[in-house]
Structure formats: C-alpha cells, structure tokens
C-alpha cells in the first residue's frame, strides 16, 4: 500500500469570544482535561505528525495543556491566517494534511479514515451532517422557509493534499474571509468530497455547548483491588483509615503504616494502571518515614482527577482480631470521604477476624483489602491499539 506522509493541523488560536469564560474555550476544562487535549489525543497514532496553532500569549496555556514536546505554531488574526501559518510550518515531505478545529474535541478514528479515503479521488474531503430541522428566515417573526433539501452542516477534520491547500491559500483574495478550508479549495476549482460527519464532532461555540460536550463523553467503568499488611508492635501509634485509634499496640512500617489507606491507595492507582504506592512513594526515600498516609491517598485521587476520572465507590475490609473496628467505622468513613472528596455513602468500611488463625489471629499484624470503582472518560480513539 502506498504510504502518504500525513500531518494534522489543529487550529487553536481563536479567542472564543462567543463561548465567554475566563480562558479561550480551547483551554477550558471539559471532564478534567483542557479541550484542545482531546483533539490532539484523537489524532495521535493516526497521522505522522501533529501541529497545534495557538494565539499570541497562549504559550503557557498550551504547554500546560499539551506538554513541552508539542509542536506549536503562532496563529493569526483570522482562522484562515492561522491555517496558513500552520501550513507554512509543515515540511515538504508532508503529502496530506488534516485541518481540524480545536473546538471540536471528539474525533473518531472512523471519520479520520473516511476523509483520508475520499482524498484518493478528490482534491479535498470534509465531514458533513444533513440538516434535520426545518429552516426558516426571520427576526422575531416567522419568514419564509428555506428548503433544507441538499443542505449540510460542515465539520472538520477536513483532508487535503498539502500542495492543493497551500495553493488555495496562496490564491485566496486577501480581503475575503473563509470559515473553513474546503470552501477555499472549492472556490479555486477543486472537487471536495462530502463524507459522513458525526454529532460528536459538533463545535463548541456557545457557553451551553460545554455541558453538551460533557454529556456526550462516553464513560468507562474500572475497578481494581489493593492489599496491604503491616506488623503490630508495642510503642507504635495505631493509625487506621486515617483515624488515630487508642490501643496498646500500633502498626510499624513505611510512613504511619496506615494499612487501610495503603490498600485504598493501591486500589485507586490500580484503576488507572499507575503502578502501586511504592512506585510513587518509595519506602527507601527518607521523606516518607512516618509520613501521614492521607497524602498518598489524596495523590492517587488527584491522578484520577487529572485524567478526567471520577471515583464512584471504595470498599475497604480490615482483617484483625483487635481493636474492634465498629466503634471507629463512622470516623474512618468520614475521614476517607473527606480525603477523596466523596459523600460518605460512597465509602464502605468493613472488618472481619480470621478466627484467631494466622498472623492476624495472633495479633502480629493487620491486613487490609480494598476495591475501588471509578469512571473514566472514554474519548473517541482512546483505548484502541
Ligand atoms: N481559530 C484560530 N485562529 C483564529 C480564529 C479561530 O486558530 N484567528 C480557531 C479556533 O481556535 C477554533 C477554530 O478556529 O478552534 C474555529 O473557530 P471558532 O469556533 O470561530 O473559534 P473562535 O474564533 O475562538 O471563537 P469566536 O468566533 O466565538 O471568537
Ligand atoms: Mg471565530
């Protein structure tokens, strides 16, 4: 099969004036991630290179959103200028370019494949949706109906051969505005294919569109377990579930040895396949000696939040003969809920003995096991190898 070197140009240099808000819309947070990060992630693995066009003064926002390795190009006063700057930055080795609005976060691999396939026998390709509603003219008063037959809503990503799109930009009359690239290629004589678009591709333009985008996100549920044991020793404090419990012995080990919070931390880290507590807080590192374990649990919760995830439920089982957990259960639930920013009905704390059998039965140690269930946004393209 012929290999075409393909670049994705994501235009993110607008001011988002219609969307309002403190930040330009492309940097607003949707389900835990800046909007532009969704589009960038969607193209990764489907093209050879991704370039993001940003506005003046947006460098720090873009670096925070996309990391330091992202290729950034300065945009211009109009979308057309921004695309032109992006095109100029591409090397001549690039044969095909996909131009995409950062304000359309959810790009499926299928739509990328459709526009690229159409490029084989067209000068360009754009996803479109037919218009479903009746269209009318009017200002406050109903005017004439506009026949919707043959009308389409135009979306991105739009695909072109690089030389075709460069020629369209070079030949475009300076004073004319163009809200997308397909109309430019067409006006200069090119044949642009219409391929099936997707509702998920709708652009975020107005304030209400953010809520729609969040609602459109597909979520996946993930559960993972955690397990931990610490030794009981005289002269140690007994921290369990973030609560200091009066007892004749306490747990010894890494940090404050709160076996319950450690099991919960491992369960949460497991849901995002982020290693275990030792990966993040090595026992060999002296700074964690005697450290309060609530910070480990809060760290795991933060990693999940950074991915746009939400903790649905945590369930903890303590395995010990003594102390009795019942009198402390409510305090543990309240403390864990507080650390994880959950309501207490999403935290379960249980306890059991091992009938005086084994190390827990002999009160030589306490074991804890935990299960955490979270929801993670499954954006188009994510999770596919
Ligand atoms: N865009 C751009 N450079 C510009 C203007 C727009 O790169 N000078 C980008 C936007 O960041 C957006 C896409 O083009 O991803 C589509 O434009 P639009 O939805 O109009 O975004 P804004 O121009 O930012 O919004 P508004 O028109 O409401 O100010
Ligand atoms: Mg605009």
* DSSP three-state, residue 252: strand
Two tokens at 273? Answer: 């396949």
Q: Is 39 in the pocket of ligand 1 (CB under 6 A)?
A: no
CA–CA gap between residue 314 and residue 333 (Å, rounded): 10
Q: Tell which residue, 33, 30, 81, 31, has the closest CA to residue 54.
A: 81
Domains of the chain: 6-216 (3.90.550.10), 219-377 (3.30.1330.50)
Kindly give the residue spans of alpha helices, DSSP state H, lying in the chain: 35-43, 59-66, 79-89, 109-118, 162-170, 182-187, 208-216, 259-271, 277-280, 294-306, 329-340, 358-361
Query: Which of 176-180's residues contact partners 24+ apart within 8 Å by CB, and which partners?
Result: 177/78, 177/80, 178/79, 178/80, 179/79, 180/79, 180/99, 180/126, 180/154, 180/156
User: How far from 262 is each of 324, 330, 364, CA to CA, in Å?
Assistant: 20, 19, 18
Q: Which helix (H) or strand (E) holds 314?
A: strand 310-319
Taking only the tens place, the pLDDT of each residue in 243-297 is 999 999 999 987 999 999 999 999 999 999 999 999 999 989 999 988 999 999 9
Ligand 1: which of 9, 14, 28, 42 to mutate, most ligand atoms within 8 Å of CB? Answer: 14
CA–CA gap between residue 342 and residue 271 (Å, rounded): 17
pTM of the predicted model as reported, rounded to 2 decimal places: 0.75
Per-residue pLDDT band at 384 (split at 50, 70, 90) = low
Q: Tell which residue, 100, 124, 83, 82, has the closest CA to residue 44.
A: 100
Q: Residue 379: what pLDDT?
A: 58
| Ligand 1 atom at shortest distance from the alpha carbon of 24 | 24
CA–CA gap between residue 160 and residue 156 (Å, rounded): 12
CA–CA gap between residue 253 and residue 257 (Å, rounded): 5
pLDDT of 381 strictly over 50? no
Two tokens at 68? Answer: 């330091």
| Ligand 1 atom at shortest distance from the alpha carbon of 14 | 24
User: How far from 210 is each of 61, 165, 323, 325, CA to CA, in Å?
Assistant: 19, 31, 50, 45
Taking only the tens place, the pLDDT of each residue in 153-173 is 999 999 999 999 999 999 999
Q: What percent of the chain has pLDDT over 70?
A: 98
Q: Is 203 in the pocket of ligand 1 (CB under 6 A)?
A: yes
Taking only the tens place, the pLDDT of each residue in 78-95 is 999 999 999 999 999 999
| Ligand 1 atom at shortest distance from the alpha carbon of 205 | 19
């Amino acid at each position: 099969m012929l290999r075409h070197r393909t670049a994705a140009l994501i235009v993110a240099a607008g001011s988002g004036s219609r969307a309002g808000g403190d930040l330009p819309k492309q940097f607003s947070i949707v389900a835990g991630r800046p909007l532009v990060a969704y589009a960038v992630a969607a193209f990764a693995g489907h093209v050879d290179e991704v370039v993001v066009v940003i506005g003046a003064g947006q460098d720090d926002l873009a670096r925070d959103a996309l990391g330091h390795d992202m290729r950034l190009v300065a945009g211009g006063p109009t979308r057309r200028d921004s695309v032109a700057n992006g095109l100029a930055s591409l090397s001549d080795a690039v044969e095909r370019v996909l131009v995409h609005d950062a304000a359309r976060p959810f790009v499926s691999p299928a739509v990328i494949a459709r526009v690229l396939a159409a490029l084989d026998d067209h000068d360009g390709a754009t996803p479109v949706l037919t218009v479903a509603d009746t269209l009318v003219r009017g200002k406050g008063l109903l005017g004439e109906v506009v026949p919707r037959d043959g009308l389409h809503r135009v979306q991105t990503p739009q695909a072109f051969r690089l030389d075709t799109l460069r020629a369209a930009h070079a030949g475009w009359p300076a004073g004319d505005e163009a809200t997308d690239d397909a109309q430019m290629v067409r006006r200069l004589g090119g044949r642009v294919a219409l391929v099936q678009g997707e509702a998920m591709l709708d652009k975020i333009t107005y304030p209400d569109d953010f809520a729609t985008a969040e609602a459109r996100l597909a979520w996946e549920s993930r559960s993972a377990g955690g397990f931990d044991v610490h030794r009981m020793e005289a002269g140690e404090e007994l921290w369990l579930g973030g609560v200091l419990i009066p007892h004749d012995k306490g747990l010894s080990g890494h940090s404050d040895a709160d076996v319950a919070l450690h099991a919960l931390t491992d369960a949460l880290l497991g849901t995002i396949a982020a290693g275990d507590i030792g990966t993040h807080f090595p026992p060999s590192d002296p700074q964690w000696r005697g450290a309060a374990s609530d910070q480990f649990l809060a760290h795991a919760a933060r990693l999940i939040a950074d991915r746009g995830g939400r903790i649905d439920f945590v369930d903890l089982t303590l395995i010990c003969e003594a102390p009795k957990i019942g009198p402390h259960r409510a305090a543990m639930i309240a403390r864990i809920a507080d650390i994880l920013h959950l309501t207490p009905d999403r935290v379960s704390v249980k306890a059991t003995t091992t009938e005086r059998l084994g190390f827990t039965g002999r009160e030589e140690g306490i074991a804890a096991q935990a299960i955490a269930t979270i929801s993670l946004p499954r954006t188009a393209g994510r999770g596919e190898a």
